Amino acid sequence: MKAKDRLIVALDVDSRDEAMAIVRDVGAHCGLFKVGMQLHNSAGFSVTEEIMALGYPVFLDLKFHDIPNTVGKAASVVSRRGVKMFTVHAAGGQEMLRRAVQGAQEAQKAQGSGTAGVPLVLAITVLTSLSQGVLNDEVGYGGTVEENVVRFARLAQAAGVPGVVASPREIEPIRAACGDDFVIVTPGVRPTWAATNDQARVMTPAEAMEAGASYLVVGRPITAAPDRAEAARRVAEEMAEGLARRVK
């Protein structure tokens, strides 16, 4: 897989027109587009379908977190719609996670597309905006960020979830705990030439890929750039540098 195929561009915008302009600008320079709550709640599922109709895979980041039955049915719905990846919160517990995987698998089986068409279920560990102090003092979790991320990753893996979303700072301990085949999708990535914005635990694209990330999610450094295509190319180049160092 080429470095650019591991780049997920986040469409964190308010409208279908804004999103599709970004898709047109950078579609040739990335692997997937992320549709999150902001765009989904503004434009509905139709924008995801429009992106997929152009041949681009979609990472649907709605972070399902509810009772197991509800999450399982939601997983089935989005799987039938053809998304490549979607997210659930690991904090929902093992049964909820298990039902999400089952919902995805059963939806694809019903459509006759086999296991190759099953979307990648990803468990949210600790949001990249959360610092150590916020995690302990406000959210109320004991232990370090790293300890909580690894605990959630192990929980997800035990439930049959094939991967997690985690900051680049926790890639290496997740790899050590869950193995080389476990998928790690990494937001909180900022090139040296971009601002960190509201991310608390960041790395450069090269550092994150060298550390063992499977995919990187990048938003504003690309979508807010004067030349989006050039920004995406620069990020992919940095990712390729990190991958080259990782395989040596």
Annotated ligand binding at 115? The verdict is no
Alpha helices in 90-219, H assignment, sequence order: 94-111, 132-133, 145-158, 171-178, 205-211
Cα 91 from chain centre: 16
CATH number of 3-247: 3.20.20.70
Spell out the residues 6+ positions from residue 36 whose beta carbon is closer than 8 angstroms to its own: 10, 11, 12, 61, 62
Residue in 2, 5, 66, 137 annotated catalytic: 66
Give percent of the chain with pLDDT exceeding 70. Answer: 94
Give percent of the chain with pLDDT exceeding 90. Answer: 82
pLDDT higher than 70, residue 247: no
Q: Domain limits of the chain?
A: 3-247
For residues 191-207, average pLDDT? 70
Annotated ligand binding at 199? The verdict is yes
Alpha helices in the chain, H assignment, sequence order: 16-26, 37-43, 45-53, 68-80, 94-111, 132-133, 145-158, 171-178, 205-211, 220-223, 228-247
Q: Is 5 among the residues known to form the active site?
A: no
Question: Taking Cα atoms as reference points, which of 158, 156, 162, 165 lies closest to residue 130?
Answer: 165
Task: Write down the pLDDT at residue 117.
Answer: 79
Annotated ligand binding at 192? The verdict is no
Cα 211 from chain centre: 17
Annotated ligand binding at 216? The verdict is no
Residue in 4, 25, 61, 109 annotated catalytic: 61
What is the per-residue pLDDT across 228-240, written as a single tens digit (0 to 9) for each? 999 999 999 999 9
What is the per-residue pLDDT across 165-181, written as a single tens digit (0 to 9) for each? 998 889 999 999 999 99
Residue 164: burial class (beta carbons within 10 Å; 0-12, 13-18, 19+): buried
Q: Are 105 and 160 in contact (CB under 8 A)?
A: no
Residue in 14, 17, 63, 248 annotated catalytic: 63
Annotated ligand binding at 14? The verdict is no
What is the per-residue pLDDT across 29-41, written as a single tens digit (0 to 9) for each? 999 999 999 999 9
Q: Is 2 among the residues known to form the active site?
A: no
Q: Are 51 and 21 in contact (CB under 8 A)?
A: no
Annotated ligand binding at 36? The verdict is no
DSSP 8-state assignment for residue 215: E
- In the predicted model, what is the mean pLDDT of the chain? 92
Q: Is 248 among the residues known to form the active site?
A: no
For residues 45-70, average pLDDT? 97
The CA distance from 190 to 204, in Å, is 5
Other CB atoms within 10 A of residue 106 CB: 16
